[in-house]
């Protein structure tokens, strides 16, 4: 039997939960060290917020982003210590930073500081209430693009996360997003719901945040990734530090091409997808994209054990 071709995928904002990473930090020195590294880099105890909350603080964008990154990197390091090594990596929005840490493009310390700032810039760019996001189910991308065009009326609304053939998230000015939700329903969407988010991510309203983040990322050292990183912005493998940095900058205002990214990995021969980090959002999306592929969740001792046991039998 041929060996599996493995991709690690890393979750984005919304996958956080109080208690995440706690058992791994208790069991594995490499995980414990990762949390300590994050605490030292940030100057506050992100580990305590991950393990104990409170939830309302963990939900703040500038806390959520470094918290999810830290848990994802801890999981990735434990997997690699157990001999599970990816041939490709990809991450959903914020998760693309975890992917680049896994690929050796940027150091974990640089990444954790960068995403804290990224969260802060995104939060500060659009005043609360002025921007919104909504999930639309059962409307093809071209049709939804037309809905957004018709609903805009001089304001901003556009596809932000093309997550699967069945699920697309839109983002923009609150009233324009609300109009698009109503229009999508009228035109036959299976479901169209406003999301509880703190800002309208992945649309042109985020341009000021993108400019501020570009300044930060341009000051960091980006190496060529050790394994290809599939980027959100165009679903293509990035193999140089320069292209990796540019993709992370463009990603702030650009749509997350998640479905296309997963299709690209399948084209490249990936047979096994391991979601390294909190939650199980990406594994759920993989079922909508291609049910024939093996997809694992890896976020605590039980799920890690399942991954290593299954792979050791192949």
Active site residues per annotation: 93, 202
Cα distance between residue 112 and residue 192, in whole Å: 34
Residue with tokens 């093809």: 140
Give CA separation, 201 vs 107, 171, 287, in Å: 25, 6, 25
Contact 114, 222 (CB under 8 A): no
Residue with tokens 């000021």: 208
In three-state secondary structure terms, 37 is: helix
Cα distance between residue 304 and residue 77, in whole Å: 12
Give CA separation, 86 vs 9, 108, 245, 258, in Å: 10, 18, 21, 18
Contact 102, 8 (CB under 8 A): yes
């Amino acid at each position: 039997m041929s060996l599996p071709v493995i991709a690690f995928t890393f979750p984005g904002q919304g996958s956080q939960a109080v208690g995440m990473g706690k058992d791994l930090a208790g069991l594995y020195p490499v995980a414990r060290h990762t949390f300590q590294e994050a605490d030292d880099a940030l100057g506050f105890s992100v580990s305590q917020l991950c393990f104990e909350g409170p939830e309302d603080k963990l939900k703040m964008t500038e806390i959520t982003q470094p918290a999810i990154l830290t848990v994802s990197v801890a999981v990735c390091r434990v997997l690699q210590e157990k001999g599970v090594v990816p041939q490709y990596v990809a991450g959903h929005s914020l998760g693309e930073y975890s992917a680049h840490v896994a690929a050796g493009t940027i150091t974990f310390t640089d990444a954790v500081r960068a995403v804290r700032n990224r969260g802060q810039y995104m939060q500060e760019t659009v005043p609360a209430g002025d921007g919104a996001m909504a999930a639309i189910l059962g409307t093809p991308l071209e049709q939804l693009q037309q809905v957004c065009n018709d609903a805009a009326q001089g304001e901003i609304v556009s596809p932000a996360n093309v997550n699967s053939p069945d699920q697309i998230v839109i983002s923009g000015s609150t009233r324009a997003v609300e109009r698009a939700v109503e229009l999508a329903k009228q035109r036959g969407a299976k479901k169209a719901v406003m999301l509880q988010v703190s800002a309208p991510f992945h649309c042109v309203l985020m341009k000021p945040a993108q400019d501020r983040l570009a300044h930060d990322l341009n000051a960091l050292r980006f190496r060529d990734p050790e394994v290809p990183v599939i980027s959100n912005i165009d679903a293509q493998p990035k193999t140089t530090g320069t292209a990796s940095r540019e993709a992370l900058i463009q990603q702030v205002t650009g749509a997350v091409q998640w479905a296309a990214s997963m299709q690209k990995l399948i084209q490249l021969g990936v047979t096994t997808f391991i979601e390294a980090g909190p939650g199980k959002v990406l594994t759920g999306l993989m079922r909508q994209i291609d049910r024939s592929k093996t997809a694992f969740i890896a976020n605590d001792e039980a799920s890690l054990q399942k991954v290593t046991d299954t792979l050791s039998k192949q």
